[in-house]
A and B are shown apart, each in its own frame.
Chain A
Amino acid sequence: MARELWLIPLLPALSSAVLLLLGSRLSRRWISLQACLAVLASLALSAAALVRLLGAANGAPPLSGTLFTWVASGSLSVPASLTFDPLTAVMSLVVTGVGLLIHVYSAGYMAGDRDYSRYFGLLNLFTFFMLVLVMASSIVLMFVGWEGVGLCSYLLIGFWFEKPAAARAGMKAFIVTRVGDAAFVLGMLTLVAAVGGPEFARINAAAAAGGLAPWLATLAPVLLFAGAAGKSAQVPLYVWLPDAMEGPTPVSALIHAATMVTAGVYMVARLNGLYSASAVAGPLVASVGAVTAVFAASLALVQTDIKKVLAYSTISQLGYMFIGCGVGAYGAGIFHLVTHAFFKGLLFLAAGSVIHALSGEQDIRKMGGLRRRLPRTFPAFFVAALAISGIPFLSGFFSKDAILTSAYEGGHLAVWLLGLLAAVMTAFYIFRLVFLIFFGEERTDAEVRRHIHESPPVMTVPLAVLAVLSALGGLIGLPAVFGERADLLGRFLAPVLKAAEAPPAAVEWNLILVSTTAAAGGLFLAFLFYLRYPGTPARLAARWPFLYRTLIGKYYVDEFYDAVFVRPLVRGSELVYASFDLAVIDGALNGSAAAAQAAGRGASRLQTGRIKDYALAFLLGAVLFLGFILAWKA
């Protein structure tokens, strides 16, 4: 298995090409079947590669396959080369596994859409680029996937492009992430030039050996992280993700929750040698992660659109992953990435099922009491909510705990406290959703209420599978207190990401107790606010109207960016265009042309046609000429 590795991404690419080019001639059933089969084949091949990897001797080099040399010019040479090591194995299984479930779900969710083949073509194309991203053995090829998923994200957010809001959101997503990508490109190319090649292994080795100039060792990871902050929606570049909810809900689940937005986390983990070698990069990553975790969670508290709550929740959870990577617990970051893919994918799909049932309603104030009306969706959502809150023994509990423990153990107390605060908020906002959607009185519109129905099996089966994974997925990464060899994922990833030092058992238990209390506290608060005393939120809002308005206004960050960046840039350019490009440059040009014309016209006036004028001129000239000669001689 070497060049065959390329089949894993190329099968979805091939399927995508067929769907996008010939889609109009295929039956709907065939379209969804082909799209799902392509991803299934990738999943199977990834699993086969995993088996090979597990069977390989300890210390054996990872699987890799090169197709050809893609770019070769001078000292820059980029092979089209994939690698399959433990980290790639985890990522590609998540991408194809969760991806397959979402493909299946989409067959039901998008059943009535007129652009069925474009949808599945783009979804397959996304899978291709995402697999290139996680399998690339060089940073430049990873960037191909990185930009490619961005493109698919743009096209899928704006899938219903006739809706102006959707078109605008897609554009915003692309441009905002490109701001980060510009920095990424600088960092990437500088690094490649410094270490003499684009391979991850080379970069990590050079950084670990101290082979980078000090300024570069600091600057490169920071620039790359700017790209990660764009792609993974961290402060200050997170603003595109909430708007991205304009896309179809399965797209939000796949791209804007489970896979693409985690690319930044993956990149940092992949370049762990580089990030560990810098004294600045790690703390920066952890701080940005911690701030984002709290910041976004606070916004999730008051949102009334079900998908917007989940979007801010995703931003916040991505912050957790960066905390893990920033404090050096890359394995914990990746662990949370995996469990988050399960439970956040599930939350989105379940939300999609609710929206589907309510004929498109997304406002949680117009839901309520749906527990019995949606008997399959409700338990799925509930399990995912428990998992994300960090209720013991569900998946999110273990991964969040691994991150917080590492932060605490690494001495990053402020980061740990922020993480804990975000944990309380997480449990609160997610159970706010649970209580408002599934409990209490039915607040649905009468018209909507008549049509409420549970989703078909093609949608609920993926929910069930993800619910099982959300519940049990944490067992792959048990903390050390459950035994030295309990952390399966950590041991599997050890060749790539060195495992974090486990704290003493007593400390570990205490930390578990603290974070469990935080989760339970948040949950209980939500219970008080939204079930026991439902008038509380309104009273609080009335008590602190400024705080409430700021939260509802999303801290006015969008308005700030608009006023400080977008508007001045456009207005300024308009001004420069009118006053400089047209007036000064062109004006000078046309002016000189006019001057030449005027001069010509003036000169032509000398040509009067009257003999006596010419005679006078002749005489004047002769006198001047003679005078000049005489003066010169004298």
Chain B
Amino acid sequence: MSVPILTCLTFLPLAGGLLLIFLPRDRVREARATALVFSLAALALALVVYARFDGATGAAQFVERAPWLGRGLNYHIGVDGLSLFLVLLTAFLTPVALLSSWRAVTDRVREFSFFMLLLETGVVGVFVSLNLFLFYVFWEAMLIPMYFLIGIWGGRRRVYATTKFVLFTMFGSLLMLVGIFVLYARANPTAAGPSLAFQDLYRLTLPPGVQTWLFLAFALAFAIKVPLFPLHTWLPDAHVEAPTAGSVLLAAVLLKMGAYGFLRLGLPLFPDAARTFLPALSVLAVIGIIYGGLMALVQKDMKSLVAYSSVSHMGLIMLALFALNFESTEGALFQMVNHGLSTGALFLCVGVLYERGHTRLIADYGGVGRRMPVFSAVFLIAMLSSMGLPGLNGFVGEVLCLFGVLAANKVLAALAVTTTVLSAAYLLWLFRRVMHGPALSERVLGLKDMDARERLVLVPVVALMFWLGLFPGTVLRKMDASVARYLELVRTKPAARTVASAAVRPVTPPPQSSGAATIVGSAMAEEGR
């Protein structure tokens, strides 16, 4: 019996959070330290998982299963090459975000730390779930801490922003919930009853009409989370109002949940319907790339600039995902990690500046570079990473994405490549207005460079940017087998998948659909039409 390492990794932050509840309200330092220690412990576990992860197989590893609610609603978790790095990213950025808010959050520190840890458990849970119901529970659970993080520690319009954020995402997830009910009704019963385990769902043969409706329900939930144009308007508001730590996790990992949803569920569960809608979705992704870039160009608030740049970058990631070939998929996965690092770092940088100047308006700054040389260098590197400069992580992801998209559709690739120009334009213009020029205002003249804690927050992120830019193999190698297996799934019809999924879980014999399920299914199909 081995240690249930993934369970520990997922629930360690929650345990830390629960511990915090018993801490007296005024023990601020202890609250911070507890949260940091627990998130660091989770990071350590994540690193163990990474080190012991076998890149040679595409199957889920560290699998744990336990009966939970019965009737197929089981506790079932594991990681494969698709989720491994998103788990790592979450585990890495949570302590970074916690440490970044030591000065920014002084009010109700205990509760803040609690929600941050809860958020980590929720997000990691989404990435490790191998059962659809469990996935949904985590997916929704993670909304709660985010709602409070924005709603309590946010800016002036925090209530509007957090309500918008929650309503937007809830709307999508409710449709997904309906979809889950339908899937559950059609699920092939195994020996223990119907199963919502991913690998069993992958083998469901759904009539085209049902597939279409289910795909649309799931896709809407995921597209809102990504966010895909034109469902993006919650993002700038949420980002602008969220505290720095919330923005970092929102951009770095929450958005990835949408892309991950497409990857894990939307495309492989409903491959035929997905293929029908991919052209349209790809066009939306491209529009997002250009539209997000142009909107970023004219933002006056630094945070909403970075938020719109996220829309643009996520557009490229989605476009690559929708291209459905090996390079594009790996590129998209790699770029998800990159975007997490670079956008996370950009939000951290804005936070550093905001803590000093108490404004995020670009026009309120100018000439900061001379006052804060170290900060300026870090900001520059984060920016270059975001605009895909070779030597840093973003370049490798961008090249793989574009390489894959080119193979799929040359026109879309040609449109997508404009991101290199647009990102340079809005980021360098931002940098010029904030960092360059003479320092004129009182606000800027009084600025102090980053202190030791702030460097501790940002230096690891910057180091990772270099590492992934120079040695992307450390990530790509462990993805290869899983990506190959995923593409196999997406390309073959569910009926023909028994072989592929046998490799996933050799225990279950390929089940035959029962009469009852077929009847319910065909009734659903009728309704679907």
Identify the A interface with B (CB < 8 A): 20, 68-76, 140, 143-144, 147-148, 151, 154, 158, 161-162, 164, 167-168, 170-171, 174-175, 178-179, 181-183, 185-186, 189-190, 192-193, 569-570, 572-574, 576-577, 581, 585-586, 589, 593
Contacts and interface: CB of A to CB of B under 8 A. Distances in A.
A243 B232 CA distance: 38
Classify the interface of chain A: helix, strand, loop or mixed. helix
A181 B297 CA distance: 20
B472 A70 contact: yes
Contacts, number: 135
Classify the interface of chain B: helix, strand, loop or mixed. helix
Interface in B365-411: 367, 369-370, 377, 384, 389-391, 395-396, 399-400, 402-404, 406-407, 410
Contacts of A581: 233, 295
A72 to B, nearest CB: 6
Contacts of A140: 399
Contacts of A189: 399, 402-403, 406, 413
A71 B400 contact: yes
Interface string B466-497: 00001111001100100000000000000000
A577 B473 contact: no
Contacts of A175: 421, 424-425, 428
Interface in B87-146: none
Given A73-B476, A167-B437, A193-B407, A577 B402 contact: no
B167 to A, nearest CB: 7
Contacts of B390: 143-144, 147-148
A573 B428 contact: no
A589 B236 CA distance: 14
Contact of B330 (A74, A151, A179, A190): A74
B406 A161 contact: no
B325 interface: yes
Nearest to A578: B298
Contact of B418 (A143, A174, A182): A182
A370 to B, nearest CB: 33
Contact of B473 (A69, A151, A182): A69
Interface string B67-104: 00000000000000000000000000000000000000
23 contacts: A70-B472, A71-B396, A71-B400, A72-B476, A74-B325, A74-B326, A74-B404, A147-B389, A161-B369, A162-B367, A162-B439, A164-B437, A167-B437, A168-B432, A171-B432, A182-B421, A185-B417, A189-B402, A569-B297, A570-B298, A573-B298, A577-B295, A593-B167
Given A161-B435, A175-B425, A73 B417 contact: no
Interface residues of B, number: 59
A607 to B, nearest CB: 24
Contact of A573 (B295, B407, B472): B295
Contacts of A179: 421
Contacts of A586: 233
Closest 8 CB pairs of A and B: A167-B436, A74-B326, A144-B390, A573-B294, A161-B436, A74-B327, A573-B298, A574-B298
B420 interface: yes
Interface centre among B369, B390, B418, B439 (most CB of A within 10 A): B390
B4 interface: no
Contacts of A72: 473, 476-477
A129 B407 CA distance: 30
A181 B419 CA distance: 11
Contacts of B407: 193
A167 B298 contact: no
A36 B292 CA distance: 44
B324 to A, nearest CB: 12
Contacts of A174: 424, 428
A576 B295 contact: yes
B460 interface: no
Nearest to A161: B436
B471 to A, nearest CB: 8
Nearest to A223: B414
A178 B230 contact: no
A405 B341 CA distance: 55
A185 B423 CA distance: 15
Contacts of B370: 161-162
Contacts of B384: 151
Given A161-B435, A178-B420, 14 more contacts: A73-B327, A75-B326, A144-B390, A144-B395, A161-B436, A162-B367, A164-B436, A171-B428, A175-B424, A179-B421, A181-B420, A189-B413, A573-B297, A586-B233
A573 B308 CA distance: 12
A69 B480 CA distance: 15
A68 B470 CA distance: 10
